[in-house]
Amino acid sequence: MQKQIYLAGGWFTPKQASLVERAHVALKQNPTIGYIHSPQEHQYKGVTEDHDPEGMFGGYEWANQTYQNDITAMDLADMAVVLWDMQDEDTGTAFEVGYLNACHKPIFFVCEDDLQANPINLMLAKGITQCLTSVDELATFDFQFVAGEPYTGQIV
C-alpha cells in the first residue's frame, strides 16, 4: 500500500525552495509513495505573497483557512518528510514537527547541512523517527517499513 506523505519545509529562501522542489521530484519517483501533500501548493484560494489579487495574504481568513488545510493534511498523512535548513530554521516547520509528533506520525527529517557542525534543538532531534542527509535518498527510501533510528548529529 502506497503511503500519503506530508511534505514540511520552508520555501522562503532559494535554498529552502530548492529543497522542496528536489524533494517533491524524488518522492514522485518513489514507488512506495501514493500522495504528497506540499502545503505551498494548497494555500487558501491559491493566495501567495506574490499572487494575491484580493489582498488576502496575511489576513485572518487566509491564515485561518491555510492553517486548517495544513492541520487536516497532517491528520490524514501516514507520515511526514521534513526538510530542514540549519542556516535559516523555519518556525512553521518546527511547529509541524511538534504537531506530527503529537499525532504519532513517523517523521523523516532531511537535512543536507553538516549535522556535527550545526546542532539542532533537542525537541526536534528527539521528535523525529529517522534523519536522512540527502534529498536524493527520498527516491529510493522504503516508506513501507518504518524503523526508528536515533539522531546522530549535535544537539543543544
Q: Which of 149, 148, 138, 147 is nearest to 28 (CA)?
A: 138
Round to whole Å and give the CA distance between 119 and 145.
28
Determine if residue 119 is left, alpha or beta; phi over 0 gives left, psi from -120 to 50 gives alpha, anything else beta.
Answer: beta
- Check 96, 112, 137, 149 and give the catalytic one: 96
Is 89 one of the catalytic residues? no
Q: Which of 73, 69, 61, 70 is nearest to 4 (CA)?
A: 73
Residues marked active site are found at 96
